[in-house]
Amino acid sequence: MALTGVEIFKLLPKTNCKKCGHPTCLAFAMKLAQRQASLDQCPDVSEEAKRILGEASAPPIRPVSFGSGDRTLKMGEEMVLFRHEKKFVNPAAFAVEIKDTESDDRINSVVEDVLSSEIERVGQKLRIDAILINNVSGEASRFEAVVKNVSEKAPNVPLIIATGNPEAAEATLKIVASRRPLLYGANKDNAEQMANIAKTYKVPLGVKADGLEALSSLTEKIKSLGVEDLVIDSGAMKAKDIIEHNTLIRRAALKKNFKPLGYPVINFCQREDKILEALIASLGVMKYSSIVVLSSVEKWKNLSLFTLRQNIYTDPQVPMQVEQKVYKIGEPRPESPLLITTNFSLTYFIVSGEIENSKVPSRLAVMDCEGLSVLTAWAAGKFTAAKIAQFIKESGIENEISHRELIIPGYVAILSGAIEEKLPGWKVTVGPKEANGIPAFLRQRMS
Ligand code: SF4
Please spell the DSSP secondary structure of 384-439, one letter per residue: -HHHHHHHHHHHTGGGT-SS-EEEE-GGGGGGHHHHHHHSTT-EEEE--SSGGGHH
CA distances from 93 to 273, 283, 285, 329 (A): 21, 13, 9, 33
* Length of the chain, in residues: 447
pLDDT values of the chain reduced to their tens digit, one per residue, 447 residues: 567 889 899 999 999 999 999 999 999 998 888 777 888 889 999 988 888 887 766 788 999 999 999 999 999 999 899 988 888 999 999 999 999 999 999 999 999 999 999 998 777 889 999 999 999 999 999 999 999 999 999 999 999 999 999 999 999 999 999 999 999 999 999 999 999 999 999 999 999 999 999 999 999 999 999 999 999 999 999 999 999 999 999 999 999 889 999 999 999 999 999 999 999 999 999 999 999 999 999 999 999 999 999 999 988 877 788 889 999 999 999 999 999 999 998 899 899 999 999 999 999 999 999 999 999 999 999 999 999 999 999 999 999 999 999 999 999 999 999 999 999 999 999 999 999 999 999 999 887
Distance 37 CA to ligand 1 centre (A): 12
Element (H, E) at 134: strand 130-134
Distance of CA 20 from the midpoint of ligand 1 (Å): 5
Distance 21 CA to ligand 1 centre (A): 8
Strand, helix or coil for residue 205: strand
Determine if residue 152 is left, alpha or beta; phi over 0 gives left, psi from -120 to 50 gives alpha, anything else beta: alpha
Question: Is 272 strand, coil or helix?
Answer: coil
Residue nearest to atom 6 of ligand 1 (CA): 20
120 vs 6, 109, 117, 219, 296, CA distance in Å?
Answer: 47, 22, 10, 38, 20
CA 113, 119, 123: angle at the middle one, nearest 5?
160
The answer to whether 228 touches 262, Cβ cutoff 8 Å, is no
DSSP state of 179: G
Count Cβ atoms within 10 A of the Cβ of residue 132 and give its class: 0-12 exposed, 13-18 middle, 19 or more buried. buried
CA–CA gap between residue 378 and residue 376 (Å, rounded): 5
Q: How far apart are CA 174 and CA 169, in angstroms?
A: 9
CB 370 within 8 A of CB 382: yes
Residue of 51, 46, 47, 55 whose CA lies nearest to 14: 46
Whole-structure pTM value: 0.77
Which of 10, 14, 44, 46 is the pocket-test mutation for ligand 1 (most atoms within 8 Å of CB)? 44
Question: Measured between alpha carbons, how far is 345 from 405 in angstroms, rounded to an integer?
Answer: 24
For ligand 1, the distance from its centroid to the CA atom of residue 15, given in whole angstroms, is: 6
**Other residues' Cβ atoms within 10 Å of the Cβ of residue 204:** 24
Q: What angle do CA 179, 64, 248 make, to 5 degrees?
A: 140
Q: What angle do CA 213, 293, 148 make, to 5 degrees?
A: 110
Per domain, the residue ranges of the chain are: 5-57, 64-312, 325-446
Q: For CA atoms 198, 202, 208, 209, give the dihedral sign.
A: positive
CB 133 within 8 A of CB 105: no
CATH 3.20.20.20 for domain 64-312: yes
Cα-flanking dihedrals φ and ψ of residue 138, to 5°?
75, -5
The atom of ligand 1 lying closest to the CA of 29 is: 7
Task: Give which of 1, 98, 16 is closest to 56, Cα–Cα.
Answer: 1
Residues lining ligand 1, CB < 6 A?
Answer: 12-13, 15-20, 22, 25, 28, 42, 44
The CATH fold of domain 5-57:
3-methyladenine DNA Glycosylase II; Chain A, domain 3 (1.10.15)
Distance 52 CA to ligand 1 centre (A): 17
Say how many Å lie between the CA of residue 36 and the centre of ligand 1. Answer: 15
Instruction: For ligand 1, pick from 11, 18, 26 the residue to mutate: most ligand atoms within 8 Å of CB.
Output: 18
Ligand 1 pocket test: pick from 9, 17, 53 the residue with the most ligand atoms within 8 Å of its Cβ. 17
* Contacts of 246 by beta carbon, 8 Å cutoff, 6+ apart: 236, 265, 267, 284, 287, 288, 289
Q: Report the CATH number of the 325-446 domain.
A: 3.40.50.11600
Task: Enter the DSSP assignment of 135.
Answer: -
